[in-house]
Structure 1
Amino acid sequence: MSGKIYDYAKICNSVLSLDSKIRFAGVINERGRLVAGGMKENVEPLENEKDDEMIFMELALRVKMRKEFDKQLGPVNFAMASRERALAISVIINDDILYVVSEPDTDYGVLPKKIIEIIHS
């Protein structure tokens, strides 16, 4: 996927409109900084801004660590974490990460595929 230019704002807006249960769609760079997107309007954040920064940096580090196994297993298509209060999905776009957070009861069998379709459309 490297080299292709993506409209990150458009991708984030499309993802936010996919499902009413999606709370956040943002693109995080390899240094853990939010470069596009954000929280859906009128949605109360589950964490504060400082926690967001830590989550984004930890996510960027986790993605880098997963790349260590690309040769043996192939590149990661997406990663998902199901938590008590949220479902988090990360998808690699070039060297950046599309990070999506939704309500925990979102259909996790369908949502990642829809997100990937948006990226590649």
Structure 2
Amino acid sequence: MSAKIYDYTKICNSVFTIDPKIRFVGVINERGRLVAGGMKENVEPLESEKDDEMIFMELALRVKMRKEFDKQLGPVNFAMASRERALAISVIINDDILYVVSEPDTDYGSLPKKILKIIQS
């Protein structure tokens, strides 16, 4: 069975329109490399470019580790981390990861559902 083909740039642009508090939308491949998207224009990054690389690689590793329990628990719909300075959400798309970072006071109850709706449309 072949995987669905997604337009990652279109998805990233659509996710940015969900909420003005979204700072970053990108697609990370299974090796932890950014393949689409990026930082919102006129937004100051919270970390350095070198830190971004480490965050992306760590995210890819975490996603691989979560897949170990797919058989028992079912696949992950999304994962979310609430930090003092940011809210981060990751969603699997084929073998890649949609990674969304927003301001910490973003409505985390509705944001993941809106992101999933864009991916599924």
TM-score (norm 2): 0.98
Identity among equivalent pairs (%): 90
Separation in structure 1 between the aligned mates of residue 50 and residue 80 of structure 2, nearest angstrom: 22
Is the Cα–Cα contact under 8 Å of residues 2 and 93 in structure 1 kept in the other structure? no
* 2-structure distance, mates of 1:17, 1:74: 30
- Counterpart in the other structure of 1:112: 112
Q: Which residue of structure 1 lines up, in the alignment, with residue 84 of structure 2?
A: 84
Higher alpha-carbon deviation: 1-10 or 66-75: 1-10
Aligned residues: 121
**How many angstroms apart in 2 are the aligned matches of 1:106 and 1:24?**
13
| Whole-Å separation in 2 of the counterparts to 1:40 and 1:115 | 16
Q: Distance in 2 between matches of 1:19 and 1:111?
A: 8
- Rate the CA distance shift 1:23–1:62 in 2: closer, same or farther, 3 A: same
1:6-36 CA distance string (max 9 Å, x none) = 0000000000111100000000000000000
Q: Deviations over 1:33-56 (max 9, x none)?
A: 000000000000000000000000
Gaps spanning 5+ residues in structure 2: where?
A: none
Moved over 6 A (4+): none
Q: Is there any run of 5+ residues in structure 1 with no aligned partner, and where? A: none
The answer on 1:69 being equivalent to 2:69 is yes
Deviation at 1:2, TM superposition (A): 6.1
* Cα distance in 1 for residues equivalent to 2:77 and 2:24: 19
Normalization by structure 1: what TM-score?
0.98
Secondary structure at the residue paired with 2:65?
A: helix
Whether the 8 Å CA contact 1:2–1:95 is kept in 2: the answer is: no
Change (3 A) 1:74 1:33: same
When the two chains are superposed, the root-mean-square deviation of aligned CA atoms in Å is 1.1
Q: How does 1:33-72 map to 2 (within 5 A)?
A: 33-72=33-72
Local SS of the residue matching 1:45: coil
Aligned position for 1:99: 99
